[in-house]
Amino acid sequence: MSDFARAPLAAILGPTNTGKTHLAVERMCAHSSGMIGFPLRLLAREVYDRVVKIKGESQVALITGEEKILPKDARWFLCTAESMPMERDFAFVALDEAQLGADPERGHVFTDRMLHARGREETMILGSESLKPMIRALLSEAEIIGRPRFSTLSYAGPAKLSRLPPRSAVVAFSAEQVYAVAEMLRRMRGGAAVVMGALSPRTRNAQVAMYQAGEVDYLVATDAIGMGLNMDVSHVAFAGLSKFDGRRRRRLTPAEMAQIAGRAGRHQRDGTFGALTLEGEHGAEFRPEEIEAIEEHRFTPLDHLFWREGDPDFRSLDALIRSLERRPGDQQLWAAPEAIDLAVLKRLAEDPDVRRRAAGPDRVRRLWAACGLPDFRKTGADHHARLVARLYGDLSEGDGRIPTGWFAEQVARLDNVQGDIDTLADRIAGVRTWAYIAHRADWLHDPANLAERTREVEEKLSDALHERLTQRFVDRRTAVLMRDIGGKNAGEFPVMIDEEGEVSVGSYAIGRLTGFDFQVDPAARHADRKMLLATAERRLGGEYEKRAGALVADSDDHFSLRTEAGEPVAILWRGHEVARLGPGKNLLSPRVLLDKKIERVSDRSREAVIERLKTWVKARVEQSLRPLRAAGLAARDPGTPPAVRSVLAMLVDEGGIVARAAVAEPVASLEREQRRVLSRLKVRIGALDLFMPDMLKPEAMRWRTALRTAAAGEPMPALPPPGSVVLPTPDDGSRPLVTRLGFRPLGPQMLRVDLVERLARHAHEARNGKQASAVDETLVTSLGLQPPAIARLMRDLGFRPAKNAQGWTWKGRGRPRPERKVHPGHAFAALAELRRNG
């Protein structure tokens, strides 16, 4: 805990528009030094600008992951929570939006700051009223001060977009929905400003300035505006009431609704909130109890916060991982879900080269710092780990610095203001990565100049993005021109396609060609859509042929396999679906079924496309499933012994994993040399399963599951996370699909078959006197196997509980008998089902 235990500690709790942040800024400026931690870079920047006006630029610092303004004599610091310099001494310290300690993704950071960030003279924790039980339980010495809202917030009911009052903010929960609503407002009401968390502060400020100046009367935003960003909003309209939280799509909690709705009204001016009804869609609806909770500011108190060790053990790589996975000792603190930094660390820990480099506390600490690089582009742990590994390679050899030339090259690639909104936003996210690196003074030879270079590129991209947003969501197309496009002389308008696929008639964009799929501009009026589509389609025949030729000539790197759960297995070309896989002559030779959109091309081009896709599939199968391909060839080789061919044929049909009971007779007849043949083909004969260990690797698992799914004509099942060894047994009918992935059901849990074999080997060694216990307690504990699963496994292996209930006794499995089929209506059908499920 803090060394300043005697300094006043206050928790300022209340709804939005209570002046909590304003109070904290005032208190900080009254002290000789101070620091406030915020949830968003945008908010930290907003308050930084305010404090600079009070204290002067030379006295105020801004520290976020990718932006650092640190004057030599700075005494007042505005930071994101993750970037708070905890080692520095400040007279005043505050943490804003502390209830985010309950957020699964970032909560452990806010919990750590709440517990440990202290000012020597005064500390403030700002948050919602729902945080009160946690303050009482974890910080009993804190004085809790409630603050009422300055103005009234009331429900105004649903409203159509055409009847939305001026000075309204529409909140959506995806970039696509933000763009769609902004397009409709541009057409109906003259335009809208756009605010999203992914925007840079410069772009966001330019958009807000346009709204604040009255150039547009509407703002369309994501829920990023809920975190204290101050704007002159009278009404908040919800375009939806659910969002994807990183794991699933769920309905917002009343507290989250209130956080967003509370942006309406400012100071003493009242505000309203309601749902947005879009034409042709069933709008979101507030429930009566949610409306009451929001208007009365009454929400379910928090009963836990997420926690992760804030002072990890750097003695070794394994010690670091163990300390970061340590469980909290307080019942109000829950272990935080695995964050991206820890996921990257664990992946890199599997790399022998990284382990060799991470020798000693200093090297381990440096590796952990590299893992802290945020995944701004949201590429996922696997892809992000490759970038971190590349950085750590430089940080752990020679002078421990990233080469300036390589750094400059990466930034130069992003210095391009061409492209659409999404392209520019993605480049800004990329620049944020290098800005973060540039502000690590011990990572670069010339951090100051490189930081300035990244700032210049970000500003340039930000200005371009603001321009694109304004052009798209504020400029208007005239109805007269649209009628002219659809008139008799429509063919005179030239049709042009830019590099991003935008199709224009004359100088006006009418839609986008994505792969072989043309979509009319979503902002076009319904009456104009057929006309615009017909105009474009008449002129796109040559473009379709050109794209078919480009596909055939393209390199393998631009093709990929889509294996999303619940979707058919599809082949993507440059990210666009062009075909699906269907049942072929055998598992490893699926049929390629072209997307209907490609039917527009000539027969010759269509056949060329099919052959190109077949070639790619064959190459990838050869690369990802080489041992399975070898087993399939051996199964068809007349020189292979018949018993071995029988085993291999079924093994290949099942994708490299088959229950031993299913091949019991041919396996029993195998001679020693024939077993060696299987071993040379990388087939392992286990106690319960025959399997090819190579088929359990993530990419092999993905491909063999995709091929089996395509052969069965079924949607793709959900793949387990890479490295998973234990899964809960599904009870939604998907169990047969999941067991194909290489997991054996054991009652409530499923265990990967190679781990089943490892436990089986241990059990039989114990039976032969080489081990003390039939159950490898160390392994089952590390795997998290539950007692019912262990019991089911031991029974399947032929063991039974000893009569004294201590240990296990070998009874033998006996010869496998065919399962008796019980008619569903039979009195013993339920009992039979229970026996099957253990």
416 or 1: which leads in pLDDT? 416
Tokens at 586, concatenated? 């055998």
Quote the DSSP letter at residue 269.
Answer: B
Confidence of residue 536 (pLDDT cuts 50, 70, 90): low
Largest CA distance in the chain: 94
Strands (E), 141-288: 143-146, 153-155, 159-160, 168-171, 193-195, 218-221, 235-238, 242-244, 249-251, 271-277
Quote the DSSP letter at residue 671.
Answer: -
- Interatomic CA distance for residues 461 and 466, integer angstroms: 9
pLDDT reported for residue 827: 39
Contact 241, 251 (CB under 8 A): yes
Quote the DSSP letter at residue 268.
Answer: T
How large is the average pLDDT for residues 641-661?
89
CATH of 9-146, one of 1.10.357.10, 3.40.605.10, 3.40.50.300, 1.10.10.10: 3.40.50.300
Q: Which sequence spans correspond to the domains of the chain?
A: 9-146, 153-296, 338-473, 479-539, 554-719, 721-838
**Cβ-based burial of 72 (10 A; exposed 0-12, middle 13-18, buried ≥19):** exposed
Answer whether residue 836 shows pLDDT above 60: no
In whole numbers, what is the pLDDT of the chain averaged over residues?
85
Q: Which residue has the tokens 């002219």?
A: 484
Task: Give the residue among 391, 366, 376 at the shortest CA–CA distance from 340.
Answer: 376
How large is the average pLDDT for residues 700-709?
90
**C-alpha pair distances (Å), 493 with each of 144, 486, 508:** 68, 10, 10
pLDDT digits (tens, 9 = 90+) for 162-219: 888 888 999 998 888 888 888 888 877 778 899 887 788 788 888 888 888 877 889 9
Task: Give the residue among 108, 90, 89, 88 at the shortest CA–CA distance from 98.
Answer: 108
* H or E segment and range at residue 590: strand 589-594
436 or 476: which leads in pLDDT? 436
Quote the DSSP letter at residue 774.
Answer: S
pLDDT reported for residue 489: 45
How large is the average pLDDT for residues 468-488?
52
Lowest mean pLDDT segment, chosen from 29-38, 75-84, 750-759, 768-777:
768-777
How far out from the chain centre does Cα 531 lie? 39
Torsion angle defined by CA atoms of residues 224, 230, 234 and 238, in that order, rounded to the nearest 10 degrees? 10
Single-letter code of the amino acid located at 667: V
Q: What is the CA radius of gyration of the chain?
A: 31
**Cβ-based burial of 210 (10 A; exposed 0-12, middle 13-18, buried ≥19):** buried
Single-letter code of the amino acid located at 619: A
pLDDT reported for residue 53: 95
Residue 545 has a CB neighbour count (10 Å cut-off) of: 15
Task: Give the residue among 759, 810, 814 at the shortest CA–CA distance from 781.
Answer: 759
pLDDT reported for residue 495: 65
Confidence of residue 531 (pLDDT cuts 50, 70, 90): low
pLDDT reported for residue 297: 84
pLDDT reported for residue 737: 58
How large is the average pLDDT for residues 301-324?
94
Residue 88 has a CB neighbour count (10 Å cut-off) of: 10
Confidence of residue 739 (pLDDT cuts 50, 70, 90): low
Handedness of CA 539, 541, 547, 549 (dihedral sign): negative
Degrees, nearest 5: CA angle 513-518-520: 105
Q: Which residue has the tokens 């200093």?
A: 362
Handedness of CA 117, 123, 128, 132 (dihedral sign): positive
Confidence of residue 77 (pLDDT cuts 50, 70, 90): very high
pLDDT above 90 covers a percentage of the chain that reads 44
Answer whether residue 283 shows pLDDT above 70: no
- Interatomic CA distance for residues 447 and 614, integer angstroms: 49
423 Cβ neighbours under 8 A, 6+ residues apart: 500
Task: Give the residue among 294, 261, 271 at the shortest CA–CA distance from 165.
Answer: 271
Tokens at 773, concatenated? 């216990």
Handedness of CA 690, 694, 695, 698 (dihedral sign): positive
**C-alpha pair distances (Å), 64 with each of 33, 463, 493, 718:** 18, 21, 50, 37
pLDDT reported for residue 471: 81
Q: Do domains 9-146 and 153-296 have the same CATH topology?
A: yes
Contact 424, 468 (CB under 8 A): yes
Torsion angle defined by CA atoms of residues 209, 214, 219 and 225, in that order, rounded to the nearest 10 degrees? 50
Collapsed DSSP state (helix, strand, coil) of residue 450:
helix
For 732-769, the DSSP string reads SS-HHHHHTTTEEEETTEEEEHHHHHHHHHHHHHHHTT
How large is the average pLDDT for residues 364-374?
93
* H or E segment and range at residue 709: helix 698-712
pLDDT reported for residue 735: 53
pLDDT above 70 covers a percentage of the chain that reads 88
pLDDT reported for residue 829: 43
Answer whether residue 125 shows pLDDT above 80: yes
- Interatomic CA distance for residues 776 and 766, integer angstroms: 9
Contact 398, 346 (CB under 8 A): no
Residue 591 has a CB neighbour count (10 Å cut-off) of: 16
pLDDT digits (tens, 9 = 90+) for 381-412: 899 999 999 999 999 998 999 999 999 999 99
Single-letter code of the amino acid located at 116: H
pLDDT reported for residue 712: 87
66 or 333: which leads in pLDDT? 333
Contact 709, 701 (CB under 8 A): no
pLDDT reported for residue 654: 87
Task: Give the residue among 86, 89, 120, 114 at the shortest CA–CA distance from 4.
Answer: 120
pLDDT digits (tens, 9 = 90+) for 481-530: 333 344 444 444 456 777 777 877 655 677 788 888 888 777 766 655 66
Task: Give the residue among 635, 734, 732, 648 at the shortest CA–CA distance from 692.
Answer: 648
pLDDT digits (tens, 9 = 90+) for 673-694: 999 999 999 999 999 999 999 9
pLDDT reported for residue 13: 93
Q: Which residues of 12-25 are buried (b: 16+ CB within 10 A; e: fewer)?
A: bbbbbbbbbbebbb
pTM: 0.56
Answer whether residue 635 shows pLDDT above 60: yes
CATH no. of 153-296 = 3.40.50.300
| 150-164, 718-732, 742-756, range with greatest mean pLDDT | 742-756
Residue 197 has a CB neighbour count (10 Å cut-off) of: 14
Collapsed DSSP state (helix, strand, coil) of residue 53:
helix
- Interatomic CA distance for residues 23 and 807, integer angstroms: 65
**Which residues, in sequence order, are bridge partners of residue 508?**
505
Confidence of residue 601 (pLDDT cuts 50, 70, 90): confident
Confidence of residue 732 (pLDDT cuts 50, 70, 90): low
Q: Which residues of 725-737 are buried (b: 16+ CB within 10 A; e: fewer)?
A: bbbebbeeeebeb
- Interatomic CA distance for residues 223 and 195, integer angstroms: 9
* H or E segment and range at residue 653: helix 642-653
Collapsed DSSP state (helix, strand, coil) of residue 520:
strand
Confidence of residue 101 (pLDDT cuts 50, 70, 90): very high
Confidence of residue 288 (pLDDT cuts 50, 70, 90): very high
Tokens at 447, concatenated? 């951090």
How large is the average pLDDT for residues 541-551?
86
For 500-519, the DSSP string reads T-EEEETTEEEEEEETTEEE
pLDDT reported for residue 477: 40
Collapsed DSSP state (helix, strand, coil) of residue 689:
strand
pLDDT digits (tens, 9 = 90+) for 602-623: 889 999 999 999 999 999 999 9
Tokens at 304, concatenated? 């836990």
pLDDT digits (tens, 9 = 90+) for 796-834: 888 888 877 678 888 876 554 444 444 444 433 443 444
